[in-house]
Amino acid sequence: MSFERTHRGLSLIELIVFIVIVSVALAGVLSVLNLTTSRSADPMIRKQMLAIAEGLMDEVAAHPFTWCDPDDPAAATATSAAGCATPEALGAEGGESRGSAVTPFDNVNDYNGLAGITTGITGTAIPPGYTAAISVAQNALGPGAAAVPAAASLLITVTVSFGGENLIVEGYRTRYAPNVLP
């Protein structure tokens, strides 16, 4: 047995072949990584959209859900829309607008149809490029006989957009305390 033969190192040719094979393999792996990154949504943008949507959802759901407009004297006593001089209907009542100092939105349903939102709950601007829209609709909640009827359950849908991307958050508000005013 020859000592030189069993312990000889790599030849230059073998080394070059090794480097070429590793380079080709690495290029393949990197190109897959590149493709995955470029086609996945930017996580920062998604997180920002979610934060905006959740903030708006909290703002809407924190409002009263009464039969009468809360400005109506019967708002705290009416047990149906028939008992109101100004019943609460889907959408804003006359003169109401979001964040108004005089006649602000005063019910969950007033937010229905609000679009092009660029401010958060505190009135401060949300980051540029993001916009939001809100819809509110009667929607029965729960299965069969146990369902909360549509008249006592509102589905709130907040849609936040950035570029061509939309993120939708849905939540329910039920009439658990119809006559309670803030």
Q: Which residues bind Ca ion (CB under 5 A)?
A: 69, 88, 93, 106-107, 109-110
User: Closest approach of Cβ 137 to Ca ion, in Å?
Assistant: 13
User: Closest approach of Cβ 105 to Ca ion, in Å?
Assistant: 6
Using the minimum distance from each CB to Ca ion, give the nearer residue, 51 or 155: 155
Using the minimum distance from each CB to Ca ion, give the nearer residue, 107 or 153: 107
Query: In 3-state terms, what secondary structure has residue 167?
Result: strand
Query: In 3-state terms, what secondary structure has residue 68?
Result: strand
3-state SS track over 98-146: CCCCCCECCCHHHHCCEEEECECCCCCECCCCEEEEEEEEECCECCHHH
State the burial class of residue 81 (Cβ atoms within 10 Å of its Cβ: 0-12, 13-18, 19+): middle
Using the minimum distance from each CB to Ca ion, give the nearer residue, 105 or 162: 105
Using the minimum distance from each CB to Ca ion, give the nearer residue, 59 or 106: 106
User: Closest approach of Cβ 96 to Ca ion, in Å?
Assistant: 5
Going by their DSSP bridges, the two strands 153-162 and 130-138 should be labelled as: antiparallel
User: Closest approach of Cβ 146 to Ca ion, in Å?
Assistant: 28
